[in-house]
Amino acid sequence: MIEDLMSKITSLAKRRGFIFPGSEIYGGIAGFYDYGPLGVELKNNIKKLWWQEMVYKHDEIVGLDSAIITHPKVWEASGHVTAFTDPLIECRSCHKRFRADNLENISDKQKSKMLSKQSLTDKNKEYIKNADKVCPDCGYAINTHVDTPKQFNLLMKTYLGTVEGEKDATYLRGETCQGIYLNYKNVLDSMWKKIPFGIAQIGKAFRNEITPGNFTFRTREFEQMEMQWFIKADLKESEKWFTYWKEERMKWYLSLGFKKENLRFRDHEPEERAHYAKAATDIEYNSPFSWKEFEGIHNRSDWDLSRHSKFSGVDLLYTNNETKDKYIPWIIETSAGADRMTLFALLDAYHEEPENKRVVLKFHPKLAPVKVAVFPLMANKQEIVDKAKSIFDNLKLDFHTMFDDIGNVGKRYRRQDEIGTPWCVTVDYQSLEDDTVTVRDRDNMQQERIKISELPQYFTEKLK
Ligand code: ATP
């Protein structure tokens, strides 16, 4: 059933032009995906709405677009070069990585419990039967004969220069926030910012994930939407802002129609926090493959700016002009994934309505890749087609609009339902007489007659 929903989403995503497997004609490449015509609209809507929410709504936040490639020392300072080079073994189920020598042996009882599950493939059974260790986190079997410990470094190396043998090694960024730290002083000086203030950025990040999977949930190239909030160096102050951002972020997902029962916070235990974090919470989504993180909120203290100050030799102290206090600001980070949000938006929106013989993506209208579809009732009646075309031309720059004259109207409704278009406009014989059209609502399938001249206003109101 669970696999069923994921395979339905994966197949709908491909069939209807949302997400395609990367390099498919060459047999594919694990951990990379391409966004099709509707996928790019959905993901762009998510990024645009995030930007509006973070940068335009919060007066003290400004935007940034920093380079993907930075000086290699950035990744030494950030701890990524050293923190990820232990020989680690990764659990196939929860994907957490552990030092192989710290793992407990698996008991026969644990094995037989796992083997009693009916959904196992023969390959899984074989793996569990011969397993020797157990995952300390989720309790799944680990078979160190198959999964040997590896030197894990998630950073993707690349080389600058053209002469072989003289190229400089550096990395594609593993997270977008480092570019924000590098520009913290530039933004502070150029924008006359005072603490507290934030810098927001959306951009690609790259990680050599050992086990990419669950469709676009874990990929090797993905987009992050990160905001770093610079505050006074004070534990109490940091706790206040940590709570503030947790609430703000959750409210945002709810405002976009995500089902409340599918979202929750999960606070990290001290031992599972990243090396820099004083406190950490995930916003998790109730996915078919269990509750999963799609945004992290972290109290990073002064770790990042202190490290960059030390490694670069540049003073990154903030001076309070009134009190003349000097300190390295602390940081609260909100770090979300645009790809995971796109996937969870698809999962959350997916509905099967056998009674209406339809599959429908009930996206919040703001997320919907296509807002309006315009149909001429008869594709061979020139006057109706011309009128529909002129409505389409009039709407298309303000609302992403699709023109469809293929098949009968019932089929066109089903096609639009399946891609989540909230409104379908049909031009019929009556339209020629009184300049009205029908507007059909995706969710309740009701139709209203609206004046053509009032359509822009009608959709603007609906999208508010
Ligand atoms: P995970 O534990 O799932 O690997 P993480 O804790 O390493 O995630 P962060 O470093 O906190 O993730 O990154 C912030 C956000 O970036 C995540 O919440 C997620 O939405 C996104 N993200 C991280 N890694 C990936 C990935 N490999 N593929 C897609 N999105 C990712």
Residue 420: enclosing H or E segment and its boundaries? none
Q: How far apart are the first and last CA of the chain?
A: 36
- What is the 271 CA–ligand 1 centroid distance (Å)? 18
- What is the 128 CA–ligand 1 centroid distance (Å)? 27
Residue-level pLDDT at 79: 85
Average pLDDT of the chain, as a whole number: 93
What number does the ligand 1 atom closest to the CA of 335 have?
A: 14
Q: Which of 360, 354, 350, 338 is nearest to 259 (CA)?
A: 350
Contact 193, 183 (CB under 8 A): no
Cα 71 to chain centroid distance, Å, stands at: 27
Q: What are the phi and psi torsion angles at 175 (to 5°)?
A: -160, 150
Q: Does residue 222's CB lie within 6 angstroms of at least one atom of ligand 1?
A: yes
Look at ligand 1, atom 23, and give the residue with the nearest C-alpha.
337
The least confident of 83-92, 102-111, 373-382 is: 83-92
Residue ranges per structural domain of the chain: 2-83+157-349, 85-153, 370-463
Q: Does residue 209's CB lie within 6 angstroms of at least one atom of ligand 1?
A: yes
d(CA 299, CA 290): 25
- What is the 147 CA–ligand 1 centroid distance (Å)? 22
Segment 247-275 shows an average pLDDT of: 91
Look at ligand 1, atom 13, and give the residue with the nearest C-alpha.
335
Q: Does position 345 have pLDDT exceeding 90, yes or no?
A: yes
pLDDT in tens, 132-187: 999 987 889 999 989 888 777 789 999 998 777 777 889 999 999 999 999 999 99
Structure tokens at 248: 């703000």
Segment 236-263 shows an average pLDDT of: 97
Cα angle 125, 131, 137 (rounded to 5 degrees) comes to: 100
Q: Does residue 219's CB lie within 6 angstroms of at least one atom of ligand 1?
A: yes
Contact 375, 412 (CB under 8 A): yes
Residue-level pLDDT at 119: 76
- 313: buried, middle or exposed (CB in 10 Å: 19+, 13-18, 0-12)? exposed
pLDDT in tens, 438-450: 999 999 999 999 9
Q: Does position 276 have pLDDT exceeding 80, yes or no?
A: no
Q: Does residue 299's CB lie within 6 angstroms of at least one atom of ligand 1?
A: no
Residue 197: enclosing H or E segment and its boundaries? strand 197-206
**Highest-scoring range by mean pLDDT, 73-87, 98-112, 166-180, 230-244:** 230-244
Higher pLDDT, 175 or 1: 175
Q: Does residue 207's CB lie within 6 angstroms of at least one atom of ligand 1?
A: yes
pLDDT-based confidence at residue 6 (cuts at 50, 70, 90): very high
d(CA 319, CA 24): 53
The least confident of 275-284, 297-306, 339-348 is: 275-284
For the chain, percent of residues with pLDDT exceeding 90: 80
pLDDT in tens, 391-411: 999 999 999 999 999 999 999
pLDDT in tens, 136-146: 878 899 999 89
Higher pLDDT, 285 or 168: 285
pLDDT in tens, 195-234: 999 999 999 999 988 778 899 999 999 999 999 999 999 9
Residue-level pLDDT at 363: 98
pLDDT in tens, 347-359: 999 999 999 999 9
Contact 165, 152 (CB under 8 A): no
Residue-level pLDDT at 80: 85
Structure tokens at 230: 């610079």
Residue-level pLDDT at 314: 96
d(CA 243, CA 84): 29
- Tell me, yes or no, if the two domains 2-83+157-349 and 370-463 fold the same way: no
223 is in an annotated binding site: yes
d(CA 189, CA 419): 46
Residue-level pLDDT at 85: 58
Count of CA atoms in the C-beta half-sphere (13 A) of 7: 4
* CB neighbour list of residue 369: distance below 8 Å, 6 or more residues apart: 18, 38, 39, 41, 42, 45, 363, 400, 419, 420
Q: Does position 277 have pLDDT exceeding 80, yes or no?
A: no
Q: Which of 226, 236, 122 is nearest to 180 (CA)?
A: 226
Residue-level pLDDT at 410: 95
Residue-level pLDDT at 83: 65
At residue 371, the 3 state secondary structure works out as coil
The least confident of 111-115, 146-150, 304-308, 438-442 is: 146-150
**Domain 370-463's class?**
alpha beta
Q: Does position 2 have pLDDT exceeding 60, yes or no?
A: no
Q: Which of 181, 154, 159, 151 is nearest to 72 (CA)?
A: 159
* 2-83+157-349 placed in CATH 3.30.450.20: no
Q: Does residue 176's CB lie within 6 angstroms of at least one atom of ligand 1?
A: no
Residue-level pLDDT at 201: 98
Segment 93-108 shows an average pLDDT of: 81
Q: Does residue 174's CB lie within 6 angstroms of at least one atom of ligand 1?
A: no
For the chain, percent of residues with pLDDT exceeding 70: 97
